[in-house]
């Protein structure tokens, strides 16, 4: 046997046993046998570097990255709507039946037991980090974080270190799969033990540990952590037709992916039984789960049901009831956010809750303190809201209970606190000079959803404010190399990196710039809507209340807040100063065809041949069109692809113009 044949045989043997070990949990080789073969392969490749290929098992760990590149997902990753109890599951199922036109849908009783069968698939929801993996001709070529669902970060090198992710599939096909990266609970415990021994900060829970491990710039660190993955969805190339979601999962298993157990359910009652079983069964597992994902099994029905602006209508996430535990309320701290609102935080006797130690919990606002009748020294019941944020839900008096004195002055700057008519909460009015508000605004301004300036950690921002280098967002663009070096957390290289990141942020889209301004009630989605409605920031400055409140998605409260923001001369000065310092604001919706489809609405049904539905909807939105998911008399056009459902029929009944994919392309391209 020549060297090349031996190398290929070693690779196949190692890959197969890695699959048996990390995916099927049924290894055929002893550890020492596996290690011996791996060492032999590594030695042969070192002797014959011309024979090394990217998908070799020895190439899982790559070089260190400077930063993660941002990449647009070919197919958008949506969020999931939640169902918190069996009644909400039944309500979701009722909507599914009505959307697909099930004959018995009109007779559906939410409390009854007899449903028209629409087959569903139930899978445990992994509490991890969502990623997408792309394979070309069976080879792993790219892996992205979920990001915001449209743009993710390229973490390919780090994902290659996870042995449950095959570098080469058992078939040479093109496929994009979605999965959840997680860290086993046993591995999480071992990692925290090592962190303690090394006097390093411990991780709060397995999800945080997994997320922190997968985003290391050095893949060697990721490789040292015991991460795994479950695949939960796949988008195959057009040469492979999959009729059901369960068929797709079975195909993924055959390709070499690790897929969690799932159950096909005839109707929603069987789903509810599965959720009840899993609520107890999950406690025996070595990985964290926070619910069950329920999906319509038929791919044709999924296409028919479509999506809302943020989530598939054919799926829902049933959330397990959160764990609850009693603790002692030791104190209440008051923190100030970027808008000036004062938030009470409970300081607790440390207690274990849902796999992590909790010593602080939210009480949201002062009305909540009154409702709970909170006193220092009370015993308080804590639960995790959405399995993430600890929250106080009940209190009971003890012999140590003593009255809680509410603050009269800002804990950050000492200003007299005020109430605002019609709003719940107490505010610090000292917006310009309150350190906590300044810090909050800067943190938001540099965040990924806003100006996206890497390198500004909480501690660095705090030090810059202490040294009076920054008061307002525009001051970031005045920072000098010499000033940065006076911060003990910043060295030569990091100072240069930070200045480069600041310079790169100067080219920004209008939607991100609006979001970065931190206008009250205006978030990422509404910033995008405003960017579609106005050519530039100057137009938005001049917008009237009537202009704003007439825009879909911009309510009266938001419109008033925008007017108030631009009526403040200091805000106008801040924007003008940033522009004079080199910030260039470009509207991605502003081109030669600026919003030429504004006011028109398109519904897409069926499968498109030359582009994904997400891509088509994104292009239409760039031109100002709306892309609702359902057909009504207010729709202008329905685009019909392959295998359309009842939406096409309904469009014809209503006399709505039907477009082919070719006609849609002509419209997008200027026809």
Tell me the C-alpha distance between 505 and 584, whole Å.
9
Q: Which residues contact 139 (CB under 8 A, 6 or more apart)?
A: 54, 55, 167, 168, 169
Alpha helices per DSSP H over 568-669: 569-580, 613-622, 646-654, 661-668
Answer for the pair 206, 184: CB distance below 8 angstroms, yes or no: yes
CA 569 to chain centre: 36
DSSP string, 519-557: -TT--HHHHHHHHHH-SSHHHHHH--HHHHHTSTT--HH
**Residue 669's CB: how many other CB atoms inside 10 A?**
9
Could you identify the residue written with the tokens 């011309």?
50
Of 198, 199, 140, residue with least CA distance to 168 = 140
CA 461 to chain centre: 25
Answer for the pair 549, 601: CB distance below 8 angstroms, yes or no: no
Tell me the C-alpha distance between 658 and 637, whole Å.
6
In residues, how long is the chain?
Answer: 671
**Residue 431's CB: how many other CB atoms inside 10 A?**
16
Tell me the C-alpha distance between 545 and 563, whole Å.
7
Alpha helices per DSSP H over 66-128: 86-99
Q: Which residues contact 652 (CB under 8 A, 6 or more apart)?
A: 658
Could you identify the residue written with the tokens 């629409």?
118
Token reading at 539: 């137009």
Tell me the C-alpha distance between 195 and 219, whole Å.
18
Kindly name the residue from 9, 67, 90, 125 that is annotated as catalytic: 125
State the distance between the two ends of the chain, measured CA to CA, in whole angstroms.
62
Tell me the C-alpha distance between 377 and 379, whole Å.
7
Could you identify the residue written with the tokens 């009537």?
546
Segment holding 458, helix H or strand E: helix 458-466
Burial class of residue 197 (count of CB atoms within 10 Å of its CB; 0-12, 13-18, 19+): exposed
Answer for the pair 645, 667: CB distance below 8 angstroms, yes or no: no
Whether 384 is a known active-site residue: answer no
**Residue 188's CB: how many other CB atoms inside 10 A?**
26
Pairing of strands 151-153, 120-126: unpaired
Instruction: Give all strands (DSSP E) within 397-545, no chain letters.
Output: 418-419, 426-427, 507-509
Answer for the pair 608, 633: CB distance below 8 angstroms, yes or no: no
**Residue 106's CB: how many other CB atoms inside 10 A?**
8
Of 490, 451, 446, residue with least CA distance to 467 = 490
CA 340 to chain centre: 27
Tell me the C-alpha distance between 183 and 128, whole Å.
8
Active site amino acids: 125
């Amino acid at each position: 046997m020549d060297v090349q044949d031996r190398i290929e045989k070693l690779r196949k043997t190692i890959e197969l046993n890695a699959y048996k070990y990390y995916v099927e949990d049924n290894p055929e080789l002893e550890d020492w046998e596996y290690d011996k073969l791996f060492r032999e392969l590594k030695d042969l490749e070192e002797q014959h570097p011309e024979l090394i290929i990217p998908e070799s098992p020895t190439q899982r760990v790559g070089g260190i990255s400077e930063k993660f590149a941002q990449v647009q997902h070919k197919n958008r990753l949506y969020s999931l709507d939640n169902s918190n109890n069996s009644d909400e599951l039944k309500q979701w199922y009722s909507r599914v039946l009505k959307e697909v036109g099930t004959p018995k849908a009109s007779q559906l009783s939410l409390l009854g037991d007899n449903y028209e069968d629409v087959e569903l698939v139930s899978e445990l929801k992994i509490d991890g980090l969502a990623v997408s993996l792309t394979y070309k001709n069976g080879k792993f070529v790219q892996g992205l974080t979920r990001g915001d669902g449209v743009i993710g970060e390229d973490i390919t090198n780090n994902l290659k270190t996870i042995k449950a992710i095959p570098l080469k599939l058992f078939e040479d096909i093109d496929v994009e799969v979605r999965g959840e990266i997680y860290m086993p609970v046993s591995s999480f415990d071992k990692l925290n033990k090592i962190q303690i021994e090394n006097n390093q900060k411990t991780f709060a829970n397995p999800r945080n540990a997994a997320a922190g491990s997968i985003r290391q710039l050095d893949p060697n660190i990721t490789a040292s952590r015991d991460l795994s993955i479950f695949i939960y969805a796949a988008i195959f190339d057009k040469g492979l037709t999959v009729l059901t979601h369960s068929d797709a999962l079975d195909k993924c298993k055959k390709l070499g992916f690790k897929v969690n157990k799932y159950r096909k359910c005839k109707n929603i009652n069987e789903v509810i039984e599965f959720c009840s079983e899993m609520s107890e069964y999950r406690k025996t597992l070595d990985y964290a789960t926070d619910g069950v994902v329920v999906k319509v099994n038929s791919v044709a029905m999924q296409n028919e049901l479509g999506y809302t602006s943020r989530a598939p209508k054919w799926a829902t996430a049933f959330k397990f009831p959160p764990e609850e535990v009693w603790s002692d309320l030791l104190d209440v701290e008051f923190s100030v956010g970027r808008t000036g609102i004062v938030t009470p935080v409970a300081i607790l006797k440390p207690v274990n809750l849902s796999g992590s130690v909790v010593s602080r919990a939210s009480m949201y606002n002062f009305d909540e303190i009154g409702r709970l009748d909170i006193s220092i020294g009370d015993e308080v019941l804590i639960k995790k809201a959405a399995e993430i944020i600890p929250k106080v839900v009940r209190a009971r008096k003890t012999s140590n209970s003593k009255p809680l004195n509410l603050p009269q002055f800002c804990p950050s700057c000492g200003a007299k606190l005020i109430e605002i008519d019609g709003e719940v909460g107490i505010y610090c009015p000292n917006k310009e000079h309150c350190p906590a508000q300044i810090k909050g605004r800067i943190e938001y301004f540099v965040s990924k959803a806003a100006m996206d300036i890497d390198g500004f950690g909480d501690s660095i921002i705090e030090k810059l404010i202490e040294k009076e280098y920054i008061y307002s967002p525009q001051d970031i663009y005045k920072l000098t190399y010499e000033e940065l070096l006076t911060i003990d957390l910043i060295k030569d290289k990091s100072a240069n990196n930070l200045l480069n990141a600041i310079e790169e942020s100067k080219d920004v889209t209008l939607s991100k710039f609006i979001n970065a301004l931190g206008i009250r009630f205006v978030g990422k989605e509404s910033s995008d809507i405003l960017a579609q409605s106005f050519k530039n920031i100057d137009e938005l400055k001049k917008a009237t209340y009537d202009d704003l409140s007439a825009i879909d998605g911009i309510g009266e409260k938001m419109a008033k807040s925008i007017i108030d923001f631009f009526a403040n001369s200091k805000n106008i000065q801040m924007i003008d100063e940033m522009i004079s310092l080199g910030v260039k604001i470009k509207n991605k919706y502003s081109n030669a065809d600026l919003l030429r489809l504004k006011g028109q609405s398109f519904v897409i049904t069926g499968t498109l041949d030359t582009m994904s539905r997400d891509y088509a909807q994104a292009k239409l939105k760039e031109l100002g069109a709306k892309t609702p998911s359902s057909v009504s008399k207010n729709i202008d056009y329905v685009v019909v692809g392959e295998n359309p459902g009842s939406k096409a029929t309904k469009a014809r009944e209503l006399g709505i113009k039907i477009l082919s994919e070719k006609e849609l392309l002509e419209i997008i391209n200027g026809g």
